[in-house]
């Protein structure tokens, strides 16, 4: 639906925020730590955060100019979609049925965007009138619905340390961490210090 270019993160985002392997999984990872929420856990705080994030995943090349109407509540709406998508793919990662209310909300919001003409679906991509009020959360909802039916469910994983979701595209299918350079190395360091297999991740002080 959207093509996935190499991540070209726009400030304040960094490439390390885009390790999910799919824009919808990256969206679910726009919290600092999913498993052990930090006091300042939120990464999507403002309309500008949303626009730079969307540009970073390649939804659009140039951010649309948003009217006050379109900017109003944008971050909160995208956070709602994010939490619904997280609930769906967290269930997928555990091989469980997806929660009906979360998937239902994603279907309703994407349906509203399609009916209003804000979002257009094609076989291989999605386009939208990005500046229209509601278009961004509507398009993200449709992406999430599409991802549910197209991503290989057995490859959707949860980082054992921070709880971020990712698509394991490694050949052996045994990836355990969002990234070796953050959680993988911290886990190794922690195991080394304690001399044991840690039962659960300690609250991370940083990514
Ligand atoms: Zn992690």
Distance from the alpha carbon of residue 202 to the mean position of ligand 1, in angstroms: 12
Distance from the alpha carbon of residue 130 to the mean position of ligand 1, in angstroms: 31
Distance between the two ends of the chain, CA-based, in angstroms? Answer: 30
Low-confidence ranges of the chain (pLDDT < 50): 197-206
| Strand partners for 127 | 120
Distance from the alpha carbon of residue 63 to the mean position of ligand 1, in angstroms: 29
The position carrying tokens 């009916």 is: 115
pLDDT at position 4 is 56
Using CA atoms, how far apart are residues 51 and 44, in angstroms rounded to an integer?
10
Distance from the alpha carbon of residue 50 to the mean position of ligand 1, in angstroms: 22
pLDDT at position 204 is 42
pLDDT at position 44 is 96
Distance from the alpha carbon of residue 174 to the mean position of ligand 1, in angstroms: 14
Strand ranges (E), the chain? 119-121, 126-128, 156-158, 165-167
Distance from the alpha carbon of residue 139 to the mean position of ligand 1, in angstroms: 27
Distance from the alpha carbon of residue 191 to the mean position of ligand 1, in angstroms: 15
pLDDT at position 124 is 85
193 alpha carbon, distance to own chain's centre: 32
Distance from the alpha carbon of residue 142 to the mean position of ligand 1, in angstroms: 26
Q: Which residues of 29-68 are buried (b: 16+ CB within 10 A; e: fewer)?
A: bbbbbbbbeeeeeebbeebebbbbbbbbbbbbeebbebee
Distance from the alpha carbon of residue 42 to the mean position of ligand 1, in angstroms: 16
pLDDT at position 7 is 58
pTM score? 0.88
Tokens of 30: 């726009």
Using CA atoms, how far apart are residues 22 and 41, in angstroms rounded to an integer?
21
Q: Which of 175, 122, 164, 184 is nearest to 33 (CA)?
A: 164
């Amino acid at each position: 639906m959207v093509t996935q270019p190499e991540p070209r993160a726009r400030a304040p985002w960094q490439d390390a925020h885009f390790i999910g392997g799919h824009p919808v999984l990256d969206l679910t990872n726009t919290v600092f730590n999913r498993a052990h929420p930090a006091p300042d856990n939120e990464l999507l705080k403002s309309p500008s955060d949303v626009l730079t994030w969307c540009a970073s995943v390649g939804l659009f090349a140039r951010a649309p100019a948003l009217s006050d109407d379109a900017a109003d509540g944008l971050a909160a709406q995208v956070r709602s979609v994010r939490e619904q998508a997280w609930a769906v793919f967290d269930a997928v990662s555990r091989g469980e049925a997806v929660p009906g209310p979360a998937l239902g909300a994603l279907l309703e919001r994407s349906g509203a965007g399609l009916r209003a003409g804000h979002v257009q679906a094609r076989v291989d991509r999605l386009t939208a009138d990005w500046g229209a009020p509601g278009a961004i959360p509507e398009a993200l909802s449709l992406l999430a619905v599409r991802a549910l039916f197209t991503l290989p469910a057995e490859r959707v994983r949860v980082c054992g340390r921070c709880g971020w979701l990712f698509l394991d595209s490694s050949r052996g299918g045994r990836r355990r961490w969002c990234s070796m350079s953050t959680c993988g190395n911290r886990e190794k360091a922690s195991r080394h210090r304690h001399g044991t297999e840690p039962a659960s991740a300690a609250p991370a002080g940083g990514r």
